[in-house]
Amino acid sequence: MELTQKQFKNINLQDVFFASLINDYAEFSDWFARKAEDSAYVFEDDAGSINGFLYLKTEEDAITDVAPALPAKKRIKVGTMKINARGTKLGERFLKKIFDHAIHNDVEEIYVTVFPHHDVLINLFQRYGFLQAAEKHSANGTELVLVKSLTQLQGNLVSSYPLIKNTGTKKYLLSLKPVWHTRLLPDSILKNENARIIEDISHTNSIHKVYLAAMRGLEALKPGDILLIYRTTDDAGPAHYRSVATSVGVVEEYRSIHSFVSREEFMAYCQPYSVFSDAELNQFWARKNFPHVFRFTYNAALKRRVTRGEMIEQYGLNPNDYWGFMPLTQNQFDSIIRAGQIDEGIIVN
């Protein structure tokens, strides 16, 4: 099951999935027909039935059909978003796509209009920092206008996502072997196309990640700490050139595996966001050989991968240090992400 981009003309409006949208918006079918050449994201199950739909649009004008009107800004409008969640993380996957578009297009805000009876969707948006800014009154009824700022940090690291608080936070380099890196961070593979984050992202792409490791020092992790993800060599060449920094995330929580009172509690914590299979998790629980369990948000992929050699020769990292997990100075972190051409808007001082 993949999240794919399709032109409207290639999307089946007769799918029962669209019935509620047609019921909520009298003009939906006509609008859909006018968008024939435009594209939207569609999530289909194995039988080809639609379970998710997302249409995004970049705007710069004032929003005058809401009360109060919103001033002109560069925004992403979530034109239409509907999901059949069924206990999956599909909503978060769609939000990740929205945030990727917003950062890539350097917008100041994201906004969406939603009817009050869609309380599950409203709660999802609010969790990630969308606040009610206005109401939209039309023949279809009254919708809430929810707005997400991409210039200001909010109450916590989840509501602030994808923004990263740079000042007053500790920074660490965290190494991942290629096999785990690819499973955990699908849009941080070794390709340099700047637009990749808004193209074909694997279904494993989610905002939150849970990882287990045995590397020394991980017990020091605290919420808000920043992780610079480092992909170790694939043995296709010297580590000096093939080991690279690829991504940035923010720690949500650290736990020792011994803090879980049962296998069931451990599995419930890890399963929703872990790249490990149930069999692997069961093995980790039985053996306790990966005692460090931590959850982090996956905020951004570096557009340019920064090599181990570059980090040593230009940014002062010590080749003799333990590169599995090690602290970075503020200057080292800033220099590496600058070299990695990260979207500057997500780093807030």
Please name the residue that has the structure tokens 């909010």: 154
Q: Compute φ and ψ for 135, nearest 5 degrees.
A: -130, 150
Report the alpha-carbon distance of residue 97 to residue 110 in Å, rounded.
Answer: 12
Q: Do the domains at 3-151 and 164-348 have one common CATH topology?
A: no
Q: Which fold has domain 3-151?
A: Aminopeptidase (3.40.630)
Nearest CA among 163, 104, 155 for reference residue 131: 155
Residues 6+ apart with CB under 8 A from 114: 121, 122, 125, 143, 144, 146
Give the CATH number of domain 164-348: 3.10.590.10
Sequence spans of domains, the chain = 3-151, 164-348
Q: What is the pLDDT along the chain (349 residues), one digit of tens a residue?
A: 567 899 999 999 999 999 999 999 999 999 999 999 999 999 888 888 899 999 999 999 999 999 999 999 999 999 999 988 655 578 888 998 899 889 888 999 999 999 999 998 999 999 999 999 999 999 999 999 999 999 999 989 999 999 999 999 999 999 988 776 766 665 555 543 333 433 433 335 678 999 999 999 999 999 999 999 998 866 655 566 578 999 999 999 999 999 999 999 999 999 888 878 899 999 999 999 999 999 999 998 888 899 999 999 999 999 999 999 999 999 999 999 999 998 888 999 8
Residues facing residue 175 across a β-bridge: 230
Please name the residue that has the structure tokens 């005058």: 64
Report the alpha-carbon distance of residue 83 to residue 278 in Å, rounded.
Answer: 26
Position 238 scores a pLDDT of: 56
Position 201 scores a pLDDT of: 37
Position 132 scores a pLDDT of: 97
- What is the helix, strand, coil percentage profile of the chain, to 5? 30, 30, 35
